Chain A
Protein backbone atom coordinates (compact mmCIF):
# COMPACT_ATOMS: atom_id res chain seq x y z
CA UNK A 1 0.00 0.00 0.00
CA UNK A 2 1.74 3.13 -1.19
CA UNK A 3 -0.57 5.81 0.14
CA UNK A 4 -1.33 6.96 3.67
CA UNK A 5 -2.95 4.36 5.85
CA UNK A 6 -6.03 4.95 7.86
CA UNK A 7 -6.97 2.89 10.82
CA UNK A 8 -10.46 1.60 10.54
CA UNK A 9 -12.79 3.40 12.96
CA UNK A 10 -12.93 1.63 16.31
CA UNK A 11 -15.46 -1.14 15.62
CA UNK A 12 -18.20 -2.23 17.93
CA UNK A 13 -17.57 -5.45 19.85
CA UNK A 14 -19.97 -7.26 17.56
CA UNK A 15 -18.24 -5.94 14.43
CA UNK A 16 -14.82 -6.91 15.81
CA UNK A 17 -16.10 -10.43 16.49
CA UNK A 18 -17.56 -10.67 13.01
CA UNK A 19 -14.29 -9.43 11.47
CA UNK A 20 -12.28 -11.93 13.46
CA UNK A 21 -14.67 -14.71 12.46
CA UNK A 22 -14.35 -13.77 8.79
CA UNK A 23 -10.54 -13.77 8.97
CA UNK A 24 -10.39 -16.98 10.96
CA UNK A 25 -12.58 -18.74 8.40
CA UNK A 26 -10.26 -17.59 5.62
CA UNK A 27 -7.12 -18.87 7.38
CA UNK A 28 -8.77 -22.21 8.17
CA UNK A 29 -10.10 -22.59 4.64
CA UNK A 30 -6.67 -21.93 3.18
CA UNK A 31 -5.19 -24.73 5.28
CA UNK A 32 -8.07 -27.03 4.38
CA UNK A 33 -7.40 -26.55 0.65
CA UNK A 34 -3.84 -27.78 1.23
CA UNK A 35 -5.05 -30.82 3.15
CA UNK A 36 -7.54 -31.56 0.35
CA UNK A 37 -4.74 -31.15 -2.23
CA UNK A 38 -7.06 -28.76 -3.99
CA UNK A 39 -4.19 -26.68 -5.35
CA UNK A 40 -5.91 -24.69 -8.09
CA UNK A 41 -8.21 -22.73 -5.74
CA UNK A 42 -5.34 -22.62 -3.20
CA UNK A 43 -3.08 -20.88 -5.73
CA UNK A 44 -5.92 -18.53 -6.66
CA UNK A 45 -5.85 -17.16 -3.09
CA UNK A 46 -2.37 -15.76 -3.71
CA UNK A 47 -1.75 -12.39 -5.35
CA UNK A 48 0.33 -12.35 -8.54
CA UNK A 49 3.16 -10.62 -6.64
CA UNK A 50 2.82 -12.88 -3.63
CA UNK A 51 5.54 -14.35 -1.47
CA UNK A 52 5.47 -17.66 0.33
CA UNK A 53 8.33 -17.72 2.80
CA UNK A 54 9.73 -20.17 5.34
CA UNK A 55 12.88 -18.64 6.89
CA UNK A 56 15.81 -20.66 8.24
CA UNK A 57 16.08 -18.48 11.33
CA UNK A 58 13.53 -16.60 13.45
CA UNK A 59 15.58 -13.41 13.20
CA UNK A 60 15.64 -13.34 9.41
CA UNK A 61 13.95 -10.08 8.46
CA UNK A 62 13.88 -10.52 4.72
CA UNK A 63 14.47 -13.35 2.25
CA UNK A 64 17.28 -11.21 0.84
CA UNK A 65 19.15 -11.63 4.16
CA UNK A 66 20.08 -15.17 3.23
CA UNK A 67 18.86 -18.61 2.26
CA UNK A 68 15.36 -19.89 3.10
CA UNK A 69 13.62 -23.24 3.31
CA UNK A 70 10.95 -21.89 0.98
CA UNK A 71 11.14 -18.56 -0.79
CA UNK A 72 8.51 -18.88 -3.45
CA UNK A 73 6.84 -16.50 -5.83
CA UNK A 74 3.69 -17.51 -7.67
CA UNK A 75 5.68 -19.31 -10.39
CA UNK A 76 7.48 -21.53 -7.92
CA UNK A 77 4.25 -22.23 -6.04
CA UNK A 78 2.69 -23.28 -9.33
CA UNK A 79 5.57 -25.59 -10.16
CA UNK A 80 5.65 -27.02 -6.64
CA UNK A 81 1.97 -27.88 -6.52
CA UNK A 82 1.94 -29.15 -10.12
CA UNK A 83 4.80 -31.46 -9.18
CA UNK A 84 2.97 -32.80 -6.13
CA UNK A 85 0.27 -34.14 -8.40
CA UNK A 86 2.76 -35.66 -10.87
CA UNK A 87 3.10 -39.42 -10.46
CA UNK A 88 6.71 -39.21 -11.75
CA UNK A 89 7.86 -36.96 -8.91
CA UNK A 90 9.88 -39.59 -7.06
CA UNK A 91 10.53 -37.31 -4.13
CA UNK A 92 6.76 -37.09 -3.76
CA UNK A 93 6.10 -40.78 -4.38
CA UNK A 94 3.94 -41.54 -2.56
CA UNK A 95 2.57 -38.04 -2.14
CA UNK A 96 2.24 -36.72 1.38
CA UNK A 97 -1.10 -36.52 3.12
CA UNK A 98 -1.42 -33.64 5.56
CA UNK A 99 -3.66 -32.43 8.35
CA UNK A 100 -3.33 -28.82 9.45
CA UNK A 101 -4.46 -27.76 12.89
CA UNK A 102 -5.08 -24.01 13.04
CA UNK A 103 -5.41 -22.22 16.34
CA UNK A 104 -5.15 -18.80 17.93
CA UNK A 105 -5.95 -16.72 14.87
CA UNK A 106 -5.31 -13.10 15.77
CA UNK A 107 -5.61 -9.92 13.73
CA UNK A 108 -2.41 -7.96 14.42
CA UNK A 109 -3.16 -5.09 12.07
CA UNK A 110 -6.14 -4.05 10.01
CA UNK A 111 -5.77 -0.86 8.01
CA UNK A 112 -7.25 0.69 4.94
CA UNK A 113 -5.30 2.83 2.49
CA UNK A 114 -6.44 6.02 0.83
CA UNK A 115 -7.10 3.88 -2.25
CA UNK A 116 -9.72 2.05 -0.22
CA UNK A 117 -7.79 -1.20 -0.25
CA UNK A 118 -7.37 -2.90 3.08
CA UNK A 119 -4.31 -4.67 4.42
CA UNK A 120 -4.34 -7.08 7.31
CA UNK A 121 -1.60 -8.89 9.18
CA UNK A 122 -2.90 -12.05 10.77
CA UNK A 123 -0.99 -14.50 12.94
CA UNK A 124 -1.93 -18.03 13.88
CA UNK A 125 -0.38 -21.07 15.49
CA UNK A 126 -0.37 -24.04 13.16
CA UNK A 127 0.65 -27.66 13.33
CA UNK A 128 0.88 -29.77 10.20
CA UNK A 129 0.92 -33.54 10.48
CA UNK A 130 2.38 -35.14 7.40
CA UNK A 131 2.19 -38.78 6.43
CA UNK A 132 3.92 -40.61 3.60
CA UNK A 133 3.38 -44.33 3.33
CA UNK A 134 6.95 -45.54 2.82
CA UNK A 135 8.15 -48.28 5.15
CA UNK A 136 5.22 -48.26 7.51
CA UNK A 137 7.15 -47.21 10.60
CA UNK A 138 7.28 -44.09 12.71
CA UNK A 139 9.43 -42.08 10.29
CA UNK A 140 6.47 -41.96 7.93
CA UNK A 141 4.61 -39.54 10.19
CA UNK A 142 6.15 -36.13 10.82
CA UNK A 143 5.06 -32.98 12.55
CA UNK A 144 5.82 -29.38 11.59
CA UNK A 145 4.67 -26.42 13.59
CA UNK A 146 5.09 -22.79 14.41
CA UNK A 147 3.74 -19.31 13.92
CA UNK A 148 2.17 -18.42 10.60
CA UNK A 149 1.92 -14.78 9.57
CA UNK A 150 -0.43 -13.90 6.73
CA UNK A 151 -0.38 -10.51 5.10
CA UNK A 152 -3.77 -10.25 3.44
CA UNK A 153 -5.31 -7.75 1.08
CA UNK A 154 -8.95 -6.99 1.66
CA UNK A 155 -10.51 -6.54 -1.75
CA UNK A 156 -13.96 -5.53 -0.58
CA UNK A 157 -15.05 -8.61 1.26
CA UNK A 158 -12.66 -10.95 -0.52
CA UNK A 159 -9.22 -11.63 0.90
CA UNK A 160 -6.09 -12.45 -1.09
CA UNK A 161 -2.70 -13.44 0.27
CA UNK A 162 0.17 -11.04 -0.32
CA UNK A 163 2.55 -12.98 1.90
CA UNK A 164 2.45 -16.15 3.92
CA UNK A 165 5.37 -16.50 6.30
CA UNK A 166 5.85 -19.66 8.33
CA UNK A 167 8.24 -19.50 11.28
CA UNK A 168 8.87 -23.11 12.20
CA UNK A 169 9.82 -23.55 15.84
CA UNK A 170 12.79 -25.60 14.61
CA UNK A 171 13.69 -23.31 11.70
CA UNK A 172 17.45 -23.85 12.14
CA UNK A 173 17.21 -27.64 12.22
CA UNK A 174 18.26 -29.94 9.40
CA UNK A 175 15.24 -31.30 7.54
CA UNK A 176 14.53 -34.34 5.47
CA UNK A 177 12.59 -33.75 2.24
CA UNK A 178 9.79 -31.22 2.72
CA UNK A 179 7.27 -31.69 -0.03
CA UNK A 180 3.93 -30.32 1.09
CA UNK A 181 3.66 -26.55 1.51
CA UNK A 182 3.13 -25.84 5.21
Chain B
Protein backbone atom coordinates (compact mmCIF):
# COMPACT_ATOMS: atom_id res chain seq x y z
CA UNK B 1 0.00 0.00 0.00
CA UNK B 2 1.43 3.34 -1.05
CA UNK B 3 2.04 5.60 1.89
CA UNK B 4 1.80 9.37 1.82
CA UNK B 5 5.56 9.73 1.35
CA UNK B 6 5.77 7.22 -1.49
CA UNK B 7 2.90 8.95 -3.31
CA UNK B 8 4.82 12.16 -3.10
CA UNK B 9 8.18 10.86 -4.12
CA UNK B 10 7.97 12.22 -7.69
CA UNK B 11 10.58 14.90 -7.12
CA UNK B 12 9.63 15.65 -3.53
CA UNK B 13 12.01 14.46 -0.80
CA UNK B 14 11.33 13.95 2.90
CA UNK B 15 12.86 17.31 3.74
CA UNK B 16 9.93 18.90 1.89
CA UNK B 17 7.64 17.70 4.65
CA UNK B 18 9.02 20.55 6.74
CA UNK B 19 8.45 24.25 6.12
CA UNK B 20 9.79 27.12 8.20
CA UNK B 21 6.79 27.25 10.54
CA UNK B 22 4.78 24.17 9.58
CA UNK B 23 5.30 20.44 9.44
CA UNK B 24 3.41 17.85 7.43
CA UNK B 25 1.38 15.54 9.65
CA UNK B 26 2.73 12.41 7.92
CA UNK B 27 6.01 12.80 9.86
CA UNK B 28 4.15 11.47 12.92
CA UNK B 29 2.56 8.42 11.37
CA UNK B 30 3.84 7.46 7.94
CA UNK B 31 5.68 4.09 8.03
CA UNK B 32 7.90 5.15 5.11
CA UNK B 33 8.94 8.32 6.94
CA UNK B 34 9.63 6.24 10.03
CA UNK B 35 11.81 3.74 8.13
CA UNK B 36 13.77 6.59 6.62
CA UNK B 37 14.17 8.24 10.04
CA UNK B 38 15.68 5.03 11.38
CA UNK B 39 18.29 5.06 8.60
CA UNK B 40 18.97 8.74 8.19
CA UNK B 41 18.51 10.11 11.73
CA UNK B 42 19.11 7.19 14.10
CA UNK B 43 21.69 5.83 11.66
CA UNK B 44 23.67 9.09 11.76
CA UNK B 45 23.25 10.83 15.12
CA UNK B 46 25.16 9.98 18.28
CA UNK B 47 22.79 7.92 20.43
CA UNK B 48 23.15 7.80 24.24
CA UNK B 49 23.47 4.14 25.24
CA UNK B 50 24.59 3.63 28.81
CA UNK B 51 26.66 4.94 31.68
CA UNK B 52 30.07 3.51 32.64
CA UNK B 53 28.73 2.45 36.05
CA UNK B 54 26.23 0.08 34.40
CA UNK B 55 29.06 -2.09 33.06
CA UNK B 56 31.75 -1.75 35.75
CA UNK B 57 33.51 -5.11 35.24
CA UNK B 58 34.81 -7.13 32.32
CA UNK B 59 31.95 -9.18 30.86
CA UNK B 60 29.17 -6.92 32.21
CA UNK B 61 26.66 -6.01 29.56
CA UNK B 62 23.42 -4.10 29.00
CA UNK B 63 21.16 -4.27 25.96
CA UNK B 64 20.12 -0.92 24.49
CA UNK B 65 18.79 0.36 21.17
CA UNK B 66 19.91 2.49 18.27
CA UNK B 67 16.61 3.29 16.63
CA UNK B 68 14.84 -0.05 16.28
CA UNK B 69 18.04 -2.12 16.45
CA UNK B 70 19.12 -3.79 19.68
CA UNK B 71 22.78 -3.52 20.64
CA UNK B 72 24.86 -5.10 23.39
CA UNK B 73 27.08 -2.72 25.35
CA UNK B 74 29.86 -4.79 26.97
CA UNK B 75 33.06 -4.12 28.84
CA UNK B 76 35.83 -6.30 27.46
CA UNK B 77 38.81 -7.89 29.23
CA UNK B 78 40.95 -4.80 28.69
CA UNK B 79 38.35 -2.48 30.20
CA UNK B 80 37.21 -1.02 26.88
CA UNK B 81 33.54 -0.67 26.05
CA UNK B 82 32.42 -2.51 22.93
CA UNK B 83 29.03 -2.20 21.27
CA UNK B 84 27.77 -4.91 18.91
CA UNK B 85 24.40 -5.79 17.45
CA UNK B 86 22.34 -8.20 19.54
CA UNK B 87 22.05 -10.66 16.69
CA UNK B 88 23.71 -13.97 15.87
CA UNK B 89 25.24 -14.02 12.39
CA UNK B 90 24.10 -17.62 11.82
CA UNK B 91 20.29 -17.58 11.89
CA UNK B 92 19.67 -14.11 13.27
CA UNK B 93 18.47 -15.02 16.77
CA UNK B 94 19.10 -12.40 19.43
CA UNK B 95 22.09 -13.28 21.61
CA UNK B 96 21.06 -11.66 24.91
CA UNK B 97 17.54 -12.16 26.21
CA UNK B 98 17.95 -9.97 29.28
CA UNK B 99 18.46 -6.25 29.63
CA UNK B 100 21.56 -6.69 31.75
CA UNK B 101 23.87 -9.44 32.84
CA UNK B 102 27.38 -10.90 32.82
CA UNK B 103 28.91 -12.80 29.93
CA UNK B 104 32.61 -13.02 30.80
CA UNK B 105 33.14 -15.86 28.30
CA UNK B 106 31.45 -13.97 25.48
CA UNK B 107 27.96 -14.15 24.05
CA UNK B 108 26.79 -17.61 23.03
CA UNK B 109 23.82 -17.97 20.73
CA UNK B 110 21.33 -20.31 22.40
CA UNK B 111 20.33 -21.82 19.04
CA UNK B 112 23.48 -23.61 17.73
CA UNK B 113 26.09 -22.43 20.19
CA UNK B 114 28.01 -19.96 18.04
CA UNK B 115 30.18 -18.00 20.46
CA UNK B 116 31.07 -14.34 20.02
CA UNK B 117 33.60 -12.17 21.86
CA UNK B 118 32.69 -8.78 23.34
CA UNK B 119 33.88 -7.09 20.14
CA UNK B 120 31.71 -9.37 17.98
CA UNK B 121 34.50 -11.70 16.79
CA UNK B 122 33.21 -15.21 16.11
CA UNK B 123 35.26 -17.29 18.58
CA UNK B 124 33.89 -20.73 17.89
CA UNK B 125 31.36 -22.59 15.78
CA UNK B 126 29.74 -25.84 16.80
CA UNK B 127 30.27 -28.76 14.42
CA UNK B 128 33.11 -26.89 12.78
CA UNK B 129 34.14 -29.68 10.41
CA UNK B 130 30.93 -29.15 8.40
CA UNK B 131 32.14 -25.69 7.50
CA UNK B 132 35.70 -26.52 6.47
CA UNK B 133 36.69 -24.57 3.39
CA UNK B 134 33.12 -23.31 3.22
CA UNK B 135 32.84 -20.63 5.86
CA UNK B 136 35.62 -18.55 7.36
CA UNK B 137 34.72 -17.49 10.93
CA UNK B 138 36.60 -14.24 10.34
CA UNK B 139 33.86 -13.25 7.89
CA UNK B 140 31.03 -13.86 10.33
CA UNK B 141 31.66 -11.54 13.24
CA UNK B 142 28.66 -9.74 14.73
CA UNK B 143 28.55 -6.21 13.35
CA UNK B 144 30.20 -3.71 15.64
CA UNK B 145 28.76 -0.26 16.13
CA UNK B 146 31.59 1.53 14.33
CA UNK B 147 31.79 4.61 16.55
CA UNK B 148 31.70 4.46 20.33
CA UNK B 149 32.73 7.46 22.40
CA UNK B 150 32.06 8.55 25.95
CA UNK B 151 31.74 11.97 27.50
CA UNK B 152 32.44 12.05 31.24
CA UNK B 153 31.31 8.44 31.65
CA UNK B 154 28.24 8.62 29.41
CA UNK B 155 28.63 6.19 26.51
CA UNK B 156 27.28 7.06 23.08
CA UNK B 157 27.25 5.02 19.86
CA UNK B 158 26.96 6.11 16.25
CA UNK B 159 26.37 3.99 13.15
CA UNK B 160 27.84 6.59 10.79
CA UNK B 161 31.58 5.98 10.27
CA UNK B 162 31.94 9.49 8.85
CA UNK B 163 30.13 11.29 11.68
CA UNK B 164 31.85 14.20 13.43
CA UNK B 165 33.19 13.36 16.91
CA UNK B 166 30.77 13.14 19.86
CA UNK B 167 32.01 16.45 21.26
CA UNK B 168 31.00 18.24 18.07
CA UNK B 169 27.58 16.59 18.23
CA UNK B 170 27.09 17.69 21.84
CA UNK B 171 28.37 21.21 21.23
CA UNK B 172 27.05 23.60 23.87
CA UNK B 173 24.91 20.77 25.33
CA UNK B 174 27.99 19.14 26.87
CA UNK B 175 27.62 21.78 29.60
CA UNK B 176 24.47 20.02 30.86
CA UNK B 177 26.38 16.74 31.17
CA UNK B 178 29.11 18.72 33.00
CA UNK B 179 26.36 20.11 35.22
CA UNK B 180 25.26 16.58 36.13
CA UNK B 181 28.76 15.21 36.84
CA UNK B 182 29.98 18.36 38.63
CA UNK B 183 27.15 17.95 41.12
CA UNK B 184 28.86 14.82 42.45
CA UNK B 185 31.13 15.68 45.40
CA UNK B 186 33.50 12.87 44.38
CA UNK B 187 33.07 13.24 40.63
CA UNK B 188 31.71 9.70 40.70
CA UNK B 189 28.25 9.06 39.23
CA UNK B 190 26.35 5.78 39.66
CA UNK B 191 23.39 4.65 37.58
CA UNK B 192 20.63 2.92 39.56
CA UNK B 193 19.56 -0.53 38.29
CA UNK B 194 15.93 0.42 38.97
CA UNK B 195 14.45 2.08 35.91
CA UNK B 196 11.02 3.38 34.98
CA UNK B 197 9.56 2.75 31.58
CA UNK B 198 6.44 4.14 30.04
CA UNK B 199 5.11 3.78 26.51
CA UNK B 200 2.49 5.37 24.34
CA UNK B 201 0.84 4.67 21.01
CA UNK B 202 2.34 7.73 19.45
CA UNK B 203 5.40 8.98 17.62
CA UNK B 204 8.85 9.39 19.25
CA UNK B 205 9.05 13.07 18.28
CA UNK B 206 6.02 13.88 20.43
CA UNK B 207 8.06 13.45 23.62
CA UNK B 208 10.70 15.84 22.28
CA UNK B 209 8.04 18.36 21.32
CA UNK B 210 6.28 18.11 24.67
CA UNK B 211 9.07 18.27 27.23
CA UNK B 212 10.20 21.85 26.57
CA UNK B 213 6.64 23.08 25.99
CA UNK B 214 5.82 25.49 28.83
CA UNK B 215 2.33 26.41 27.62
CA UNK B 216 0.76 22.96 27.89
CA UNK B 217 1.15 22.37 31.67
CA UNK B 218 -1.44 25.00 32.59
CA UNK B 219 -3.97 23.18 30.44
CA UNK B 220 -2.94 19.54 30.12
CA UNK B 221 -2.00 19.23 33.80
CA UNK B 222 -4.66 21.57 35.20
CA UNK B 223 -6.34 18.75 37.09
CA UNK B 224 -3.11 17.98 38.95
CA UNK B 225 -2.90 21.58 40.06
CA UNK B 226 -6.52 21.51 41.26
CA UNK B 227 -5.92 18.27 43.17
CA UNK B 228 -2.68 19.55 44.72
CA UNK B 229 -4.53 22.69 45.86
CA UNK B 230 -7.29 20.52 47.30
CA UNK B 231 -4.75 18.56 49.34
CA UNK B 232 -3.04 21.80 50.41
CA UNK B 233 -6.36 22.95 51.89
CA UNK B 234 -6.88 19.61 53.61
CA UNK B 235 -3.44 19.65 55.25
CA UNK B 236 -3.47 23.30 56.32
CA UNK B 237 -1.62 25.13 53.55
CA UNK B 238 0.79 24.59 50.65
CA UNK B 239 3.80 24.75 53.00
CA UNK B 240 2.76 21.33 54.31
CA UNK B 241 2.81 19.73 50.87
CA UNK B 242 5.35 17.01 50.08
CA UNK B 243 7.78 17.66 47.16
CA UNK B 244 5.84 15.43 44.74
CA UNK B 245 2.73 17.54 45.24
CA UNK B 246 4.85 20.66 44.93
CA UNK B 247 5.80 19.35 41.47
CA UNK B 248 2.14 18.90 40.59
CA UNK B 249 1.45 22.42 41.83
CA UNK B 250 4.35 23.86 39.76
CA UNK B 251 2.36 23.12 36.60
CA UNK B 252 0.03 25.93 37.63
CA UNK B 253 2.61 28.72 37.38
CA UNK B 254 1.31 31.61 35.24
CA UNK B 255 2.35 31.94 31.61
CA UNK B 256 3.99 35.30 32.44
CA UNK B 257 6.44 33.32 34.60
CA UNK B 258 7.36 31.01 31.73
CA UNK B 259 7.54 33.96 29.33
CA UNK B 260 10.48 35.42 31.25
CA UNK B 261 12.34 32.09 31.42
CA UNK B 262 14.88 31.46 28.67
CA UNK B 263 14.93 28.59 26.25
CA UNK B 264 18.21 27.80 24.55
CA UNK B 265 18.29 25.99 21.21
CA UNK B 266 21.42 24.70 19.51
CA UNK B 267 22.33 23.14 16.16
CA UNK B 268 21.43 19.46 15.90
CA UNK B 269 17.91 19.90 17.27
CA UNK B 270 19.01 20.20 20.91
CA UNK B 271 17.51 22.55 23.51
CA UNK B 272 16.97 23.26 27.18
CA UNK B 273 14.93 25.70 29.21
CA UNK B 274 15.87 27.73 32.23
CA UNK B 275 15.20 26.02 35.52
CA UNK B 276 12.35 26.77 37.81
CA UNK B 277 12.64 24.02 40.38
CA UNK B 278 14.99 25.93 42.66
CA UNK B 279 17.01 24.20 45.34
CA UNK B 280 14.48 22.51 47.56
CA UNK B 281 16.78 20.67 49.92
CA UNK B 282 16.34 21.04 53.63
CA UNK B 283 18.78 23.63 55.09
CA UNK B 284 20.96 20.95 56.73
CA UNK B 285 21.33 19.06 53.49
CA UNK B 286 21.89 22.23 51.55
CA UNK B 287 24.77 23.13 53.89
CA UNK B 288 26.31 19.65 53.94
CA UNK B 289 26.02 19.31 50.17
CA UNK B 290 27.47 22.76 49.61
CA UNK B 291 30.41 21.96 51.90
CA UNK B 292 31.06 18.68 50.05
CA UNK B 293 31.07 20.49 46.70
CA UNK B 294 33.34 23.24 48.04
CA UNK B 295 35.80 20.56 49.11
CA UNK B 296 35.91 19.30 45.54
CA UNK B 297 35.56 22.42 43.42
CA UNK B 298 36.48 25.36 45.67
CA UNK B 299 33.89 27.93 46.78
CA UNK B 300 33.55 29.80 43.51
CA UNK B 301 32.85 26.83 41.26
CA UNK B 302 30.71 25.11 43.92
CA UNK B 303 28.41 28.15 44.03
CA UNK B 304 28.26 28.12 40.24
CA UNK B 305 27.44 24.39 40.12
CA UNK B 306 24.64 24.67 42.69
CA UNK B 307 23.39 27.91 41.16
CA UNK B 308 22.90 26.49 37.68
CA UNK B 309 19.21 25.65 37.39
CA UNK B 310 18.43 24.15 34.00
CA UNK B 311 15.27 22.24 33.29
CA UNK B 312 15.25 19.33 30.84
CA UNK B 313 17.91 19.36 28.18
CA UNK B 314 16.76 17.57 25.02
CA UNK B 315 19.58 15.86 23.17
CA UNK B 316 17.98 15.21 19.82
CA UNK B 317 16.95 12.57 18.80
CA UNK B 318 17.28 10.10 21.63
CA UNK B 319 17.73 11.35 25.19
CA UNK B 320 16.60 14.00 27.67
CA UNK B 321 18.65 15.15 30.66
CA UNK B 322 17.86 16.72 34.02
CA UNK B 323 21.13 17.42 35.84
CA UNK B 324 19.49 19.00 38.88
CA UNK B 325 17.45 15.84 39.46
CA UNK B 326 20.11 13.36 38.34
CA UNK B 327 17.87 11.86 35.68
CA UNK B 328 18.39 10.80 32.07
CA UNK B 329 15.64 9.50 29.82
CA UNK B 330 16.08 7.47 26.65
CA UNK B 331 13.36 7.93 24.04
CA UNK B 332 13.11 4.75 22.00
CA UNK B 333 11.14 4.65 18.75
CA UNK B 334 9.53 1.23 18.26
CA UNK B 335 7.03 1.89 15.45
CA UNK B 336 5.68 5.09 13.88
CA UNK B 337 2.97 5.03 16.52
CA UNK B 338 4.70 3.24 19.38
CA UNK B 339 7.36 4.77 21.63
CA UNK B 340 9.04 3.68 24.84
CA UNK B 341 10.59 6.15 27.30
CA UNK B 342 13.05 4.78 29.86
CA UNK B 343 14.07 6.85 32.88
CA UNK B 344 17.41 6.32 34.65
CA UNK B 345 18.38 7.89 37.97
CA UNK B 346 21.93 8.58 39.11
CA UNK B 347 23.38 8.93 42.57
CA UNK B 348 26.49 10.73 43.78
CA UNK B 349 28.72 8.95 46.32
CA UNK B 350 29.59 11.44 49.04
CA UNK B 351 26.43 13.51 48.59
CA UNK B 352 23.80 13.64 51.35
CA UNK B 353 21.21 10.85 51.12
CA UNK B 354 18.49 13.46 50.58
CA UNK B 355 19.87 14.37 47.15
CA UNK B 356 19.46 10.74 46.04
CA UNK B 357 15.95 10.50 47.50
CA UNK B 358 15.00 13.78 45.76
CA UNK B 359 16.21 12.35 42.45
CA UNK B 360 14.20 9.15 42.99
CA UNK B 361 11.07 11.15 43.80
CA UNK B 362 11.56 13.40 40.81
CA UNK B 363 12.15 10.48 38.45
CA UNK B 364 9.10 8.66 39.82
CA UNK B 365 6.98 11.78 39.30
CA UNK B 366 8.45 12.47 35.87
CA UNK B 367 8.63 8.96 34.40
CA UNK B 368 6.12 6.64 36.02
CA UNK B 369 3.14 5.78 33.85
CA UNK B 370 1.22 6.22 37.11
CA UNK B 371 2.42 9.80 37.51
CA UNK B 372 -0.58 12.15 37.41
CA UNK B 373 1.45 14.43 35.13
CA UNK B 374 2.81 11.83 32.68
CA UNK B 375 -0.56 10.12 32.31
CA UNK B 376 -1.99 13.41 30.96
CA UNK B 377 0.85 13.65 28.43
CA UNK B 378 0.46 10.03 27.31
CA UNK B 379 -3.24 10.58 26.74
CA UNK B 380 -2.56 13.67 24.62
CA UNK B 381 0.13 11.96 22.49
CA UNK B 382 -2.40 9.29 21.62
CA UNK B 383 -5.12 11.85 20.88
CA UNK B 384 -2.80 13.59 18.41
CA UNK B 385 -2.23 10.29 16.59
CA UNK B 386 -5.99 9.76 16.35
CA UNK B 387 -6.75 13.34 15.30
CA UNK B 388 -4.02 13.46 12.67
CA UNK B 389 -5.15 10.24 11.01
CA UNK B 390 -7.96 11.93 9.08
CA UNK B 391 -9.38 15.27 8.02
CA UNK B 392 -8.19 17.62 5.31
CA UNK B 393 -5.66 19.61 7.35
CA UNK B 394 -2.26 18.29 6.29
CA UNK B 395 0.03 20.92 7.80
CA UNK B 396 0.59 21.45 11.52
CA UNK B 397 1.71 24.91 12.67
CA UNK B 398 4.79 25.38 14.85
CA UNK B 399 4.92 29.15 14.74
CA UNK B 400 4.49 30.16 18.38
CA UNK B 401 7.03 32.82 19.31
CA UNK B 402 8.61 32.99 15.87
CA UNK B 403 9.35 36.71 16.28
CA UNK B 404 10.68 36.50 19.80
CA UNK B 405 14.31 35.36 19.58
CA UNK B 406 16.35 37.20 22.21
CA UNK B 407 19.98 36.53 21.34
CA UNK B 408 21.95 34.38 18.92
CA UNK B 409 25.59 33.28 19.10
CA UNK B 410 27.58 30.75 17.07
CA UNK B 411 26.62 28.08 19.54
CA UNK B 412 23.01 28.79 20.49
CA UNK B 413 19.88 30.94 20.23
CA UNK B 414 18.06 32.25 23.28
CA UNK B 415 14.30 32.84 23.22
CA UNK B 416 11.39 32.87 25.70
CA UNK B 417 10.58 29.40 27.05
CA UNK B 418 7.04 29.86 25.73
CA UNK B 419 8.33 29.79 22.13
CA UNK B 420 8.00 26.79 19.83
CA UNK B 421 11.50 27.67 18.65
CA UNK B 422 12.76 24.33 19.99
CA UNK B 423 10.30 22.44 17.74
CA UNK B 424 11.37 24.48 14.71
CA UNK B 425 14.97 23.78 15.70
CA UNK B 426 14.23 20.03 15.93
CA UNK B 427 12.70 20.02 12.46
CA UNK B 428 15.63 21.96 11.01
CA UNK B 429 17.84 19.13 12.24
CA UNK B 430 15.27 16.57 11.07
CA UNK B 431 15.21 18.03 7.54
CA UNK B 432 19.02 18.18 7.41
CA UNK B 433 19.37 14.51 8.44
CA UNK B 434 16.52 13.34 6.22
CA UNK B 435 17.45 15.41 3.19
CA UNK B 436 20.90 13.85 2.92
CA UNK B 437 20.74 10.61 0.90
Q: A residues touching B (Cβ–Cβ < 8 Å)?
A: 54, 56-57, 60, 63-71, 73, 75-76, 78-80, 82-83, 86, 88-93, 134-135, 139, 172-179
Contact = CB atoms under 8 A, between A and B. Distances in A.
A79 B228 contact: yes
Interface of B: 192-201, 220, 222-224, 226-228, 230-231, 234-235, 241-242, 244-245, 248, 340-343, 345, 357, 360-361, 363-364, 367-370, 372, 374-380, 382, 386
Contact of B372 (A64, A66, A83): A83
Contacts of B234: 78
B231 A91 contact: no
Contact of A66 (B194, B227, B241, B374): B194
A140 B245 CA distance: 29
Given A67-B195, A73-B242, A86-B223, A178 B376 contact: no
B378 A177 contact: yes
B357 A92 contact: no
A76 B200 contact: no
Given A75-B235, A79-B228, A82-B227, A174 B375 contact: no
Main secondary structure of the interface of B (DSSP, over half): helix
Counting chain B CB atoms within 10 Å of each CB, the highest count among A67, A92, A134 belongs to A67
Contacts of B369: 69, 174-178
A173 B223 contact: no
B370 A70 contact: yes
Contact of B227 (A56, A79, A90, A175): A79
A75 B232 CA distance: 9
B241 A75 contact: yes
Contacts of A176: 198-201, 369, 378
Given A88-B222, A175-B197, 18 more contacts: A56-B194, A66-B192, A67-B192, A67-B345, A68-B364, A75-B244, A76-B244, A82-B227, A83-B372, A88-B223, A90-B223, A90-B379, A91-B372, A174-B197, A174-B199, A176-B200, A177-B200, A177-B369
Contacts of B228: 79
